[in-house]
Amino acid sequence: MTLYDRQAEDTIVRALTAKYPDDGILSEESAESEGASGRRWLIDPLDGTSNFLAGIPHFAVSIALAVGDEVVLGCVHDPVRGETFTAVRGGCAHLNDQRIGVSERDTLDGAVLSIGLSHCPSRRAEMVKQLAPFLSRVGVLRTLGSAALDLAYVAAGRFDAVWYSSLHDWDVAAGGLLAEEAGGRLTGLEGAPLSDPRRGIVASNGRIHDEVLHALG
């Protein structure tokens, strides 16, 4: 956690608690606060902190709202590019004022794939080994350091698929909803509906999802 994460979180939490005092909050930088409304905000105040600190202009703010266990609202904001991705459950996905949708690629061959390499050296080495089936087929491979933006880029058709070995709820809540509402698919690494992102996630345009899962073995 950095001062920047903390300041961003404080600003967001103050605004939300002032308007929705009965809602719970789960944020990357603080302990979870329980609410009485059955609603919960999931916040990553600075997704891509390492990029931010290194002066790499690729980071975002991610905010989602869940009712019970279902995420119903998601927003990923890229302050550098002035891009705000939003989605409402059952209401499509948008980039600023324009509706967006996933890519139409129907094969892994030539696909644009982004991955999130683990911070754990042993897990990172394992992921590198798992990349072998992709390297001979995908057209573009990226690791950009912001899960929220990766997922938003799937929704916008910029990436055909995204693979992360482990994430937290606040990493995937908003971006995952974006991908789904844009026509894509979000699952765990074995293809089941996502229940615990700490065990890994795959998001895609849906058309190549099974191929990605198969390549991961």
What domains can you pick out in the chain, each with its CATH number? 3-100 (3.30.540.10), 112-216 (3.40.190.80)
Q: For residue 210, report the phi and psi dihedrals to the nearest 5 degrees.
A: -65, -35
99's torsion region: left (phi>0), alpha (psi -120 to 50) or beta? beta
Higher model confidence: residue 158 or residue 124?
A: 158
> What span, in angstroms and rounded, lies between the C-alpha atoms of 55 and 207?
35
Q: What would the two tokens of residue 16 be? A: 């939300």
**pTM of the prediction?**
0.95
pLDDT at 3 (0 to 100): 86
Q: What is the pLDDT of residues 18-56, one digit of tens each?
A: 999 999 999 987 767 888 899 999 999 999 999 999 999
Q: For residue 191, report the phi and psi dihedrals to the nearest 5 degrees.
A: 95, -5
pLDDT at 1 (0 to 100): 65
Helices (H), the chain: 3-19, 49-54, 121-130, 132-135, 147-155, 169-181, 209-216
> What span, in angstroms and rounded, lies between the C-alpha atoms of 179 and 76?
12
* pLDDT over 90 percentage in the chain: 82
Distance between the two ends of the chain, CA-based, in angstroms? Answer: 34
Question: What value does the CA radius of gyration of the chain take, rounded to a whole number of Å?
Answer: 17
pLDDT at 120 (0 to 100): 75
Q: What is the pLDDT of residues 152-195, one digit of tens each?
A: 999 999 999 999 999 999 999 999 999 999 999 999 999 999 99
